[in-house]
A and B are shown apart, each in its own frame.
Chain A
Amino acid sequence: MKVGILQFPGTNCEYDTQYAFEMLGCSTEIIWHQETTIADSIDLLVIAGGFSYGDYLRSGAIARFSPIMQAVQEYAAAGKKILGICNGFQVLTESHLLPGALKRNESLHFISQHHHLKVASTNNDFLHKMPTDAVVNIPIAHHDGNFYIDPQSLQELYNNDQVLLHYCDAHGNPVNPNGSVDSIAGICNKEKTVFGLMPHPERAMETILGSDDGRMMLEGLVAN
């Protein structure tokens, strides 16, 4: 299985992401934003975390118009799988490949810490290996992770089983670190092919670094 990892000016998680997927037995390719095509051999496209274009204007807003993004739109339209982590999630909402928007954290602070998450839906290719209601410990590191969606679109997310993860405490009780609607940490599109989350599973691959819960999450995408 081959994983393509997008790299914009300001992306800084591409090598962690590469390390994580290679650990799971994948071959990888870093794809610079000036490229205009995504090779047919790419089975999964990951938009890695960081601060594309310095987060100027809005996080992900400028990256959306990079040359590679037309190919990303076509890749998504073809029903191929895309995972957006942190800034990647922001790029996906700005590109309208995922609904909603990521606002400034309610506290206005950059939050960098391990955080527990509760799995809301396993009926998708990303989290299908995890038990429903599983609680995992995954780092978050963001300034603009406050997920907003209007009430009607939120209801559609729930109706279509598109809410993937909620922030919670170690016992699975809801906790809201950043002001997100319903403490939502990750969602997918209606077709369940495009996934976005603010937490960083690629930083939770080894217990020596605090948690290897991210492994089980990323393995879900690798198994398909």
Chain B
Amino acid sequence: MKAIVNISLKAGVLDSQGKAVHHALDALKFDGVNDVRVGKQIVLQLDESDAATAKEHVTQMCEALLANTVIEDYEIEIIS
């Protein structure tokens, strides 16, 4: 079973990298981009075969280490 964790800065926390990328897209004349947020993705290969249990484990991992919940949100996708 595979878990994909997407981590991004919380709404309201300024994302300087997203802003810089947005400026660069503007400079390249890619119009119509309203907002850019840059995050990171962590892909985990798990022994667990039960999706609910896997999600629970990965949530614990996010809270303990993978995300800093002071400034970051995380989303977990479990793929069988």
Chain B residues close to A by CB (< 8 Å): 9, 13-14, 16-17, 20, 65-66, 68, 70-71
Contact = CB atoms under 8 A, between A and B. Distances in A.
Nearest to B12: A150
The 4 closest A-B pairs by CB, nearest first: A101-B70, A101-B71, A106-B16, A148-B71
Contacts of A62: 65
B40 to A, nearest CB: 9
Interface in A60-77: 61-62, 65
Contacts of B20: 108
Given A101-B71, A103-B71, A57 B16 contact: no
A173 B13 CA distance: 25
A160 interface: no
B66 A57 contact: yes
Interface string A36-77: 000000000000000000000110011001000000000000
19 contacts: A57-B66, A58-B68, A61-B65, A62-B65, A65-B65, A93-B70, A100-B70, A101-B68, A103-B9, A103-B16, A103-B71, A106-B14, A106-B16, A107-B16, A108-B17, A146-B16, A148-B70, A148-B71, A179-B16
B16 A61 contact: no
Nearest to B66: A57
Interface of A: 57-58, 61-62, 65, 93-94, 99-101, 103-108, 146, 148-150, 179
Interface centre among B13, B20, B65 (most CB of A within 10 A): B65
A148 B17 contact: no
Contacts of A100: 70
Nearest to A64: B65
A146 B70 CA distance: 13
A103 B13 contact: yes
B16 A94 contact: no
Given A105-B16, A179-B14, 5 more contacts: A93-B70, A99-B70, A101-B68, A103-B71, A108-B20
Contacts of B16: 103-108, 146, 179
A94 B69 CA distance: 10
A65 B66 CA distance: 12
Contacts of B70: 93, 99-101, 148-150
Contacts of A107: 16
Nearest to A59: B68
B13 A148 contact: yes
A146 B17 CA distance: 13
B24 to A, nearest CB: 12
A149 B68 CA distance: 12
A61 B68 CA distance: 8
Nearest to B38: A104
A65 B20 CA distance: 32
Nearest to B20: A108
